[in-house]
Amino acid sequence: MDGQFREARTEVMHLFSFDVETVKRMIDYLYTGQFNGDLKSEEVDSATTIEAGDSSFSQDDALLSIRLHMHAIADYLEISGLRERAIESICHVLGINWSIERFLSAMNTILATSQDADMYEAMASIAADHIKELLDSEEFIHLDMPNRMTLGIARELAKGQTRSRRYPCRCCSRCKFRQ
């Protein structure tokens, strides 16, 4: 290790905020470029399932939890490749089997552990796809989302607003919407 940071001099890095399995997966990623293989073949270890202590905690929930932890450590250590892979995998897991509870749980974790603009953009896109259901949720309405995320949701919703107007425009006589 080179540099002026203490970790470079001592060759020791303290990661007390992260569980051992997450650190192992991060190290595995640094050495191999993968963490526990591809998404389709990933084995979710029993420790993650036991951690939840809930019988409704599915394999998708365990996989999402792993991905959220991987994103948190990648964001903390600024490992861009791992962060991008984690975001992609989080979106994939949320997209496979949509659940408002799973999404809101992920949102709470992300808001508590990250300030990653790319993650906010990805979550905004997912939220926009399910906005009607989310707006019926008190928990979603009361989330303390950063402006970047709420603007991202608005941008995603605006992309779907490309249809023509129902009513004529009154701005001028030249407007193509004027009748």
DSSP for the chain, please give it. --SSSHHHHH-----TTS-HHHHHHHHHHHHHS-SSS-TTTPPPPHHHHHHH--TT--HHHHHHHHHHHHHHHHHHHT-HHHHHHHHHHHHHHHHHS--HHHHHHHHHHHHHH---HHHHHHHHHHHHHTHHHHHT-HHHHT----HHHHHHHHHHHHHT--SPPSS---S-SS-TT--
Cα angle: 155, vertex 116, 141; to 5 degrees:
55
User: With a cut of 70, which residues of the chain have pLDDT below it?
Assistant: 1-8, 35-57, 162-179
| pTM of the entire predicted model | 0.74
For position 37, what pLDDT does the model report? 40
For position 167, what pLDDT does the model report? 56
Q: What is the pLDDT of residues 129-150, one digit of tens each?
A: 999 999 999 999 999 999 999 9
For position 176, what pLDDT does the model report? 55
